[in-house]
Chain A
């Protein structure tokens, strides 16, 4: 049976990775990547958040149902953002509705 919780050495490794990714995102933001910089910054942030959720918050080691709740939180946020942006970004397609 796998251990219910990871050991402190794994926590230290996750911490070092998170610090490294923070340095990477600061460097990438100043590297003149144009339109890609936002995508890269959010990808790095999502990677960091996933590491925290999987290791510090034990989702990788706990019950599967907890992972379902965690994914549901992110999924509902995605519904909110995607549908709001689907409205905002397509308003100009219908000239009659523009104030």
Chain B
């Protein structure tokens, strides 16, 4: 039996907003910067609670990242907030030099990642950010799966020294991580134990994979589901432990197949234990306008895609 209980529905960005509000109350060193997207990032509550520690930079993301790096000199812990597309590609050089190479304690918090940003279309739907960020030395990359986990991760990274990229999104999705769960950076959650196949997912694809596991259970296939919320540093032991048992893997993410979570897992397989892997991800194409859930279907990152990938990979064992 799959023991996953849905306790509500919310967007992950709201989890960030609540986590940040908690930090406003509990950690006086935390400061927040936003590039003209306070409402979208749910940073209003932090601003109201600690206005002197909130910095509006205007539509100037490069300056925001540079300032955040400079704010660490003197002991502050800056959290920057804007859309994922502007948090990464637009400011890659600033992150590379001033944050990652300089090893500054900056938390880059990125909302509206992936196609589930929806109607705004491909200009805003970044699908390359995990790849860009995980390639940077010193950078930790975290993609929490639901509202509760995003809140927990936001609070946890304030106490985790070093540059962090925290990725979350816009659509309202089921909440299934317990409210009092502990978030440990770099430690994978085994959400469902199973024996036939390992599904390793992050972000919104964790919920899709839960749905897939239920469908597959009815077909008599036992899925082990790992919520890989930390993509870097990767919990290699958790991967190896699971695939030693199931002997095949499906990876699932709202990101390009090139350079995403799946590629990180493939590296583990190639170097340790070569078992078949199938990717669920976006295959070398830009997104487009549409409703978030329609786009997940269109771009091949929906429940049925996980089901199909599992059936395929099991045949390759």
Do the two shown chains form a genuine complex with each other? Answer: no
Chain B interface residues toward A at CB < 8 A? none
